[in-house]
Structure 1
Amino acid sequence: MSEEHNVSPFNAVPPVVVALAVFILGIECVFYLGSEGFVGGPTAVGWRLAAFQQYAFSSEIFFWMAETGRWTPEHLLRFVSYLFLHGNFIHAAFAAVMVLALGNMVGEVFSGFATLIVFVVPGIVGALVYAFVWPSSVTLIGAYPGVYGFIGAFSFLLWVRLRSTGDNQMRAFALIGGLMFIQLVFGLLFGGTGDWIADVAGFATGFGLSFFLVPGGWARIREMIRRG
């Protein structure tokens, strides 16, 4: 058997991206095993709900911190921890698949640390925008604002490539446009929440960060300004 057949399909995926996906699925597996009674005993059935109460992002808690000036670490953690909580296994599995696919494309160009930043910072900004634009008592969960950060970074890379070849740069935004259309349709058919606001904010943040995180970012920006 040749060496090519012995190469793991995960070898090509940046380790930080694999770690994010494994963390998302690992947490979900713990919740599932607990709900089925395989681990944790009778109290394990409530693990998911308890995690939501402690680690999901809450607009109400954010505004309470802002009003009182008590920026406690356990509540600040919610800006990131909510990205790893999901409503069910399908919700988490789909997020993990998107993290692997989009994170891999971004990680082919960005460093490992920059790739992590493009996931985490859009998640934080997405939560902030969600709090101000959609001040609801409904907590925010799911990796999707971070995933949309990856989409923003990927769109940036495609935008730069199209700009360099003189092609229509609007094609770089076809993916985000299609996803937003799908979310609109689902929202009209089944009713929606404000989590799409966090997703859009995550996309914009990921796109903006890419100007500075892409290799040679400052030089690339100066060259684009020079060319007009």
Structure 2
Amino acid sequence: MDETRPKKQTPFNPISPIVVVLVVTMIAVELVFQAAEHRLIGGPAAEGWRVEMMRFFGFHKAVFDHILMGGELEPKVIWPFLSYLFIHKSFMHMLIASALILAMGKLISDMFSGLAVVVLFVVCGLAGALAFGLFSKEGGFPLVGAYPVFYGFIGTYTWIRIFELRAQKLSILPAFSAIGMFLVFRGGLSLYAGVSNDWMADLTGLITGFLLAYILAPDGKDRIKGWVSAIRKR
């Protein structure tokens, strides 16, 4: 006699393994820098590895200008659009970014698939780099760190909350509490570290994450079909 066992209930939302892999990669990169800075690997010269990696893998405005002027699209010009996400200014910079991405990733993994999370990570990262390239000043510090993705996840979570509140026929204003957190966190960061050009990348990541949620949600295909149908009827 076959017995159907009830599924084990858990009070926690699942977290996409993709989010874990991405965060583990960030941690692994930082651990290499920490080992180098404490002279555990690489010898005395290794102390400058972080700065060198920022130079090679961080996103510079000069890279964006090079592309705009029709420069050659070499790998070293292309990879900074995403590689900057895995390089951080310090251990604490990485730790905060990783913890925040894990927390927000857990919140959005309940509705969005692993593939959708990958798309969010990549597109929010690209959008942040483009905004930085467009609006930052010449000769400034390169864009590094995964914060544009974190803010992208905030945008996606805001969309989820709006979706849930509308389904319950409630006011959508509470959904914007995450946006408020963005303003508070960015303001505090600016007071602590000074105003930098990074905020443009963060804001763009947030907007991108919110807009992408419309098409990456489980009913995204139906929503796109509805938009296409409405356009054709005009």
Query: Is the 1:127–1:198 Cα contact (8 Å) retained in structure 2?
Result: yes
Match of 2:199 in 1: 196
In structure 2, the residue corresponding to 1:68 is in which secondary structure?
Answer: coil
Contact 2:13 2:109 in 1 (8 A): no
Task: Identify the range of structure 1 (124-133 vs 78-87) with the bigger mean alpha-carbon deviation.
Answer: 124-133
TM-score, scaled to structure 2: 0.85
Q: Which residue of 2 aligns with 1:184?
A: 187
Higher Cα Rg, which structure: 2
Q: Name the CA distance, whole Å, in 1 between partners of 2:96 and 2:192.
A: 21
Query: Within the alignment, does 1:148 sit opposite 2:148 as a pair?
Result: no
Match of 2:212 in 1: 209
CA deviation digits over 1:1-35, x for unaligned, max 9?
xxxxxxxxx99422101101101111000000011
Could you say which residue in structure 2 is the equivalent of 1:87?
A: 89
How far is the alpha carbon of 1:87 from its aligned partner? Answer: 0.7
User: What is the CA-CA distance between 1:73 and the residue it aligns to?
Assistant: 1.8
Query: What SS class does the counterpart of residue 167 from structure 1 fall into?
Result: coil
How far is the alpha carbon of 1:114 from its aligned partner?
0.8
Could you tell me which residue of structure 2 aligns to residue 128 of structure 1?
130
Aligned mates of 2:138, 2:148 — CA distance in 1: 17
2 CA distance for matches of 1:58 and 1:91?
19
Aligned length: 216
List alignment gaps of at least 5 residues for structure 1: 1-9
Query: Which residue identity lines up with residue 60 of structure 1 in the other structure?
Result: A
Q: Within 5 Å, which residues of 2 pair with 1:1-228?
A: 12-137=14-139, 138-188=141-191, 191-220=194-223, 222=226
Q: SS state of the match for residue 69, structure 2?
A: helix
Calculate percent identity across the aligned residue pairs. 35
Which structure's residues are more often helix, by fraction? 1
Aligned letter for 2:195? G
Q: Offset of 1:120 from its aligned partner?
A: 1.5
Deviations 1:83-138 (A, max 9, x none): 11111101101111111111111122111111011112111101111211223422
Structure 2 residue runs of 5 or longer lacking an equivalent are 1-11
Contact 1:20–1:99 (8 Å) recurs in 2? no
The TM-score with structure 1 as length reference comes to: 0.87
Q: CA deviation at 1:62?
A: 1.3
Given that 1:122 and 1:149 are in contact with CA atoms closer than 8 Å, whether structure 2 keeps it comes out as: yes
Q: Deviations along 1:17-70, whole A, 9 cap, x unmatched?
A: 110110111100000001101112222111101101100000112102221331
Q: Which residue of 1 aligns with 2:8?
A: none
Letter in 2 for 1:130: F
CA distance in 2, matches of 1:196, 1:25: 23
Which consecutive aligned stretches of 4+ in structure 1 deviate over 3 angstroms post-superposition?
220-223
